[in-house]
Chain A
Amino acid sequence: MSVVIEQPRSPRSRNGANWEKYGWIFMRASGVILIFLVLGHLFVNLYLGEGIKAIDFAFVGGKWSDPFWKVWDLAMLWLAMIHGTNGMRTIVNDYATKETIRKALVTSLWGVCAVLITLGTLVVFTFDPCPAGALPELLPSFCPVNAS
């Protein structure tokens, strides 16, 4: 078996930080914040206005020209990715029977998590709602090409 379960109520035998405990606390704290971030995200993007029909490049451009939505989406990206990856880690720990496979899966999970958080963060920070040379009708109405 890959996981050694200690006797209940035995004193802690390891030294150093108790990462499992911090993970446990993080799942609950991030979960409570994600309720507002994720349900608010679904409400604004899928329920208000024309819902899914209205979502296109100009819609995203409009939202991300407001720092409020940039901060919202960045917080949601980081918290949901870490919460989801840590949840998947728990599941892998539960079901993987070979230690090498368990290690490989957990390492891949955090690798994918790091790549997607980096990608998503760069996208939000380097986003240009009015890229040069794009078709004007695909851009938000506030772009200079659409001003006249």
Chain B
Amino acid sequence: MPSLPAGTLYRGKVGMWSWVLHRITGVAIFFFLLVHVLDTALVRLSPEAYNAVINTYKTPLIGVAELGLVAAVLYHSMNGVRIVLIDFWRKGVKYQNIMFWIVVSIAFIVFAIFTPRHLSHVFG
């Protein structure tokens, strides 16, 4: 019986899924950024126009969606550090697996601190 090939840095397991998540979060942040540059540009039009649009960010629906954006940014930025360490640190490849779980832990802790405060602003 031939055995399944073991996972490598970018094939299967943590190495692959961390990359899939990095890609998905990168695309999500990119499209938000396009919208965000446009809505911020409204300050040049009039205070009323800017306030009207930015007030939609304070609604419950968008307010909760912002949590998704913050989670995406936290993961993408922390995993970005992991990628840089894999590329430039001698032991980066060796520790890529444990570094993924450190990335997830840091992102989760910061997210857990941010979320109740943000929800209290949106619903308070």
Which A residues have a C-beta under 8 Å from some C-beta of B? 28, 31-32, 34-35, 38-39, 42, 46-47, 50-53, 55-58, 60-61, 77, 80-81, 84-85, 87-88, 91, 112, 116, 119-120, 122-123, 126-127, 131, 134-135, 138-139
Contacts and interface: CB of A to CB of B under 8 A. Distances in A.
Contact of B44 (A84, A127, A139): A127
A133 to B, nearest CB: 9
Contact of B40 (A28, A42, A60): A60
A54 B54 CA distance: 10
Given A60-B50, A119-B37, A127 B43 contact: yes
Contacts of A46: 66, 70, 114, 118, 121
B121 A120 contact: no
Contacts, number: 111
B117 interface: yes
Q: What 9 A-B pairs have minimum CB-CB distances, sorted nearest first?
A: A57-B47, A51-B121, A138-B47, A84-B30, A31-B80, A116-B37, A53-B121, A123-B44, A57-B50
Contact of B27 (A50, A52, A60, A91): A91
Given A31-B80, A81-B33, A116-B34, A47 B117 contact: yes
B46 A131 contact: yes
- What's the interface size class on B, roughly? 35 or more
B6 interface: no
13 contacts: A32-B84, A34-B80, A39-B74, A47-B117, A53-B124, A55-B54, A55-B57, A77-B37, A131-B46, A131-B47, A134-B47, A138-B48, A139-B47
Contacts of A123: 40-41, 43-44
A81 B122 CA distance: 28
